[in-house]
């Protein structure tokens, strides 16, 4: 028999769980500053939140979780902080890949890899190869990533294919163009969460967020965990998503 607690937990998400959640993990530096600690302490504390959120997303049945770990613009931060962030990403992959593989999680990295160190690129490739056949949650790590960069690299690839005769301009539509983007083959995010109190997308998944529901919270990333993610999913379940249709049309489609 299902306990009252389990029943309440199930009823909490009757509105539906998003297939794909994207998160801008903001507030690590402010979290550290409030505790009179160096910024890198906040970034290290944030790894614990990543672990909790990945675990909870898998439990909820989320298919894809995309985490904005390092943006194209973050390269302009002080060299010491960039070095700490790159080292943290490397060590986290080394430490967590095997555990994620055991839990059937597939790892995928999107971003401009040429700017990453050879050692980090090798670790990313190893993690992707190790987990390539897994069928559970797909964990996408956006590192050295920018939405404008993604659109530009896709446009360049399209131009090359048209020039070489592999593609004609008449064949290009939204679905085909999406395949050239970094998230090709994955569903667009249904829900974007940003922690830390800011309310902007910060050059994240510009093409893919066209119809995502946006959820902004004041919670700083190191304080964001399972309950905060569940609250965001619960809020998502109460949204009416019409995708440009009337409310009546959307209701008919949802019942179909």
**How far is it, in rounded angstroms, from Cα 57 to Cα 190?**
13
190 is catalytic: no
Active-site residue (options: 26, 150, 188, 190): 26
Helix runs in 103-243, H state only = 118-131, 147-164, 174-178, 226-237
For residues 27 and 196, the answer to whether their CB atoms sit within 8 Å is yes
Q: Maximum CA pair distance of the chain?
A: 63
Q: What is the DSSP letter of 113?
A: G
Nearest one of 249, 245, 250, 213 to 232, comparing CA atoms:
213
26 is catalytic: yes
Active-site residue (options: 4, 6, 28, 74): 74
Query: Contacts by 168-173 with C-beta closer than 8 Å and gap 24+?
Result: none
Q: Which helix (H) or strand (E) holds 100?
A: helix 79-102
**How far is it, in rounded angstroms, from Cα 56 to Cα 244?**
31
Catalytic residues, by residue number, are: 26, 74
């Amino acid at each position: 028999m299902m306990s009252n607690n389990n029943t309440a937990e199930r009823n909490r998400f009757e509105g539906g769980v998003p297939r794909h959640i994207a998160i801008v993990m903001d507030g690590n530096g402010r979290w550290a500053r409030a505790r009179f600690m160096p910024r890198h302490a906040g970034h290290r504390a944030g790894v614990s939140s990543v672990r909790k959120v990945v675990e909870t997303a898998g439990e909820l049945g989320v298919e894809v979780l995309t985490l904005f770990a390092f943006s194209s613009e973050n390269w302009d931060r002080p060299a010491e902080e960039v070095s700490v962030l790159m080292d943290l990403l490397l060590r986290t992959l080394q430490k967590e890949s095997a555990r994620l593989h055991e839990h059937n999680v597939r790892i995928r990295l999107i971003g401009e890899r040429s700017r990453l160190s050879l050692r980090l690129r090798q670790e990313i490739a190893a993690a992707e190869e190790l987990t390539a056949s897994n069928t559970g949650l797909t964990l996408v790590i956006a590192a050295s990533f920018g939405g404008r960069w993604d659109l530009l690299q896709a446009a360049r690839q399209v131009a090359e294919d048209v020039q070489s005769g592999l593609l004609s301009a008449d064949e290009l539509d939204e679905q085909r163009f999406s395949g050239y983007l970094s998230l090709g083959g994955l569903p667009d995010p249904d829900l974007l969460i940003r922690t830390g109190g800011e309310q902007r997308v910060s050059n994240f998944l510009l093409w893919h967020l066209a119809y995502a529901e946006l959820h902004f919270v004041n919670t700083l990333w190191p304080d964001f965990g399972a309950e905060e993610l569940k609250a965001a999913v619960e809020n998502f379940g109460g949204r009416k998503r019409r995708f440009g249709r009337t409310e009546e049309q959307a209701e008919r489609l949802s019942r179909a």
